[in-house]
Structure 1
Amino acid sequence: MIYIALAGRLWADAGNVDGPSIYQPSTNDEIIFRISSSAIVSSGATVITPEQHLKAAKQALVLFRETANPRFLGDAERELAAIPNHKQSAPFYFYRASLRQSLHLFDEALADLNKISAMKADNLESRMMRFTISFVSGNYQAAEQACSSLKQYENSLYAASCVQQLQAVSGDADAAYQALKQAMAAVGVLADRQALIWASGTLADIAERAGRDDALALWQLALQLNRGDLYTRARLASLLLNQGDYQQVMSLTEDYLAVDALAVSRAIAQQYLGGNEALVRILRERFDEARWRGEILHKRAYAQFLLEIEQQPQLALLMAEKNWEHQREWPDAVILSHAKDAANAVQVR
């Protein structure tokens, strides 16, 4: 039973493991993390009312989405925890659901969304979050129910996007692609910008799932519409990496080393171009620290790191399988398949 031994290596008891070593830059010019001057969240000392706590929590969540710095999740959690039970409103549960979604606590996030529904305070954003969580975790029946609730809104692109994304995952990606493309063309310039961003990312995902040649161009369009979206940037970088366009990966990932998926893609590209030792060292220490804390959030990125950089297919497969337990998007299926193939190849030798 190879996985028992592997699990012992991968999930060592923190009490028996030394803490990660502290990385020290080799030169004063080396950039470890780049953060904007606006990335400042109000401290608890200046926040008094529940409304102010909510505003600070929202700001922290926005900054996390822009930077992927987990410190902002801690800030959001602290602000939300300061709100007493009798003041926990629908916005409170929405922001806490967003926090829990970012921490990959999907069941807990859905529990918060259920409280919003019980308060009859559902809106477009809460229904979209419910669909996203259900779809990502592979609960397609719940995702279909959430998708149906989006049909009540005037902008049909939200409903069209989720309907076709569900059709694509059921095995008819080509038909889903054509249907969503037609829906986007029908709305045209009248489309709400946020709906267009949502639909563009969905169309790119479906195109990649279908193996279409225009998947790359569609991910580029999705990023052009929403330059700050780290998920879209990571999906584009991954596709460029698969196509062997390593220079484009380098350009796309520059200044995004704090984002695990982008940093891993960059390290793999550098592996082909030469000179990835410094970044690999940073990533190795980052993942070691996460293992030591017992909180590896980005298991997909770690599985790819183990497979492509560390050349440890069995460990990569174990991590990809753990990731698949909770997250089942197209890239999750891809890394699981690649890890299985690599692990089987090792066993055959």
Structure 2
Amino acid sequence: MNRFLTLCLATGFALCVAILMSSSLRGNPGLLGPKAACYPEVVQVAASQIIADPDDQEIAIQAARLFINTGRRIGDASLVKSGLSALQPALNSRPDARPLILAAVGKQYLHDFDGALELLGQAETLQPRNPTLLLTRANILVVQGHTLKARPECRGLAKAGAFDLALICAATTDMLSPDADAAYAKLSRYMELKPVMEPALRGYAHSVLAEIAMYHDWTDLAAGHFVQAIKADPASIRSAALYADFLISRSEYEAALKALQGKPPTDAVLVRRAIVCSQLKKFGCLLRSRRTLQAHLLAEKKIGSFAHAREEARYLLDVEGKPSEAVERARLNWTLQREFEDADILLRAGRAAGDIAAEQMVKSWVAENGLSIPALSVELGLHPHASAETIPGRGPAL
């Protein structure tokens, strides 16, 4: 019996063909595009499995899940788009909540929020209490600034039995509200009970607590929760990026650089690394971060994605010192998402560029939504050009 037949009997014919074809992706990128050879072997094999058996929707769904999750983890919008392409046959066939929810997660990453919400609405008719559906929709609504609309999703998580997620979701919706202290206290007390949770979820809960504390200037509490978040889930890019922001705001640049160490070069990581390296005058580090970030942004523009306009605005303001260009990108980003970071960069870029209208957009958002955000340094009626010391990476301290 030859090696080929032995391999096929051991692995199954479709997988056998996939394994043998994976190396051919280097010359035939197909579904993965021109960067196929740069992706992990497991991603290349999954793409080959689709080629080997294009009619098997289960293979396509599993491959799409891998593409989307990997793309989100490494900050690659093209790979996420490949995942959406792989899902298309399943989306066009029998009703199935799984591909609908997975596609919504992919569209959320690409900031096609309306498209994601439409898919979630379709999935809701099939699985109305699916926790991933409810949490994804809540997150999208929060990102869009619709925190009141997100709260029913949090209650839905509780009804579905996902009590951990429900508490975290509720704290997220109240993060920038006058009720933030109560939301913080409720989630903090729950975490003190040391509930049985997956490490990633435990880390996420502590990162939410750290965010609330950071935005309300409870610095000691924020520092403690960041440490716990990273201890629970060391691989979390979200926790590392938020912790770096916290340290940058305190001018602890060496510590911020350490917090980003070893993290995949996503746009969120790269822009913070560039800011820190600029402040530390580590020009080799700055040059590497700048080149990689610029390449990422150019690649995203080529596929029509502006998912990371916020990171680009921050780079233009805090690294390149180009406030007029920064405020333009910050305005574009504001049409997509409205969280603390989005308000912060629009406010700072507007002030630096002398764009009073941009600053007023943030002030109106705070007033109209009854928000309470001490760390944003927004005081309605305060003259925007009052004398202030500029904190690198955060802007004027009022």
With the shorter chain as reference, the TM-score category is 0.7 to 0.9
Whether the 8 Å contact between 2:67 and 2:79 is mirrored in structure 1 is yes
Of residues 84-93 and 98-107 in structure 1, the stretch that sits farther from structure 2 once superposed is 84-93
Whether the 8 Å contact between 1:127 and 1:146 is mirrored in structure 2 is yes
- 1:44-72 deviation per Cα after TM superposition (whole angstroms, max 9, x unaligned): 31243111110111111221233222332
In the alignment, the residues of structure 2 paired with residue 143 and residue 95 of structure 1 have an alpha-carbon distance, to the nearest angstrom, of 19
**Deviation of the 1:118 alpha carbon:** 1.5
In the alignment, the residues of structure 2 paired with residue 39 and residue 79 of structure 1 have an alpha-carbon distance, to the nearest angstrom, of 12
Whether the 8 Å contact between 1:155 and 1:191 is mirrored in structure 2 is no
Of residues 144-153 and 290-299 in structure 1, the stretch that sits farther from structure 2 once superposed is 290-299
- Code of the residue aligned with 1:46 in structure 2: it is A
TM-score (normalised: structure 1): 0.81
- How many residue pairs match? The answer is 316
Q: Which residue number in structure 1 is paired with residue 191 of structure 2? A: 184
For residues 278 and 203 of structure 1, do their structure 2 counterparts lie closer, same or farther at Cα, with a shift above 3 Å needed?
closer
In the alignment, the residues of structure 2 paired with residue 137 and residue 113 of structure 1 have an alpha-carbon distance, to the nearest angstrom, of 16
Whether the 8 Å contact between 1:147 and 1:159 is mirrored in structure 2 is yes
- 1:21-49 deviation per Cα after TM superposition (whole angstroms, max 9, x unaligned): xxxxxxxxxxxx98655443323312431
Q: Which residue number in structure 1 is paired with residue 297 of structure 2? A: 287
Whether the 8 Å contact between 2:110 and 2:305 is mirrored in structure 1 is no
In the alignment, the residues of structure 2 paired with residue 167 and residue 154 of structure 1 have an alpha-carbon distance, to the nearest angstrom, of 21
In the alignment, the residues of structure 1 paired with residue 69 and residue 300 of structure 2 have an alpha-carbon distance, to the nearest angstrom, of 23
- 1:84-115 deviation per Cα after TM superposition (whole angstroms, max 9, x unaligned): 62234110101110110111111110111101
Q: Which residue number in structure 2 is paired with residue 199 of structure 1? A: 205
In the alignment, the residues of structure 2 paired with residue 46 and residue 318 of structure 1 have an alpha-carbon distance, to the nearest angstrom, of 46
Counterpart check, 1:302 vs 2:307:
no
Q: Which residue number in structure 1 is paired with residue 137 of structure 2? A: 130
In the alignment, the residues of structure 1 paired with residue 146 and residue 177 of structure 2 have an alpha-carbon distance, to the nearest angstrom, of 12
For residues 190 and 228 of structure 1, do their structure 2 counterparts lie closer, same or farther at Cα, with a shift above 3 Å needed?
closer
Q: Which structure 1 segments of 5+ residues have no match?
A: 1-32
In the alignment, the residues of structure 2 paired with residue 291 and residue 64 of structure 1 have an alpha-carbon distance, to the nearest angstrom, of 16
TM-score (normalised: structure 2): 0.72
Please, which of 204, 209, 216 is the counterpart of residue 210 of structure 1? 216
Counterpart check, 1:174 vs 2:181:
yes
For residues 152 and 285 of structure 1, do their structure 2 counterparts lie closer, same or farther at Cα, with a shift above 3 Å needed?
closer
**Deviation of the 1:203 alpha carbon:** 1.1
Counterpart check, 1:223 vs 2:233:
no
- Taking only aligned residues, the RMSD between alpha carbons, in angstroms, comes to 2.7
1:233-248 alignment, distance < 5 Å? 233-248=240-255
Of residues 156-165 and 94-103 in structure 1, the stretch that sits farther from structure 2 once superposed is 156-165
In the alignment, the residues of structure 2 paired with residue 174 and residue 75 of structure 1 have an alpha-carbon distance, to the nearest angstrom, of 42
Q: Which residue number in structure 2 is paired with residue 343 of structure 1? A: 353
Of residues 118-127 and 303-312 in structure 1, the stretch that sits farther from structure 2 once superposed is 118-127
Question: How high is the sequence identity, in percent, across the aligned residues?
Answer: 25
Larger Rg belongs to: 2
Q: Which structure 2 segments of 5+ residues have no match?
A: 1-36, 357-383, 386-398
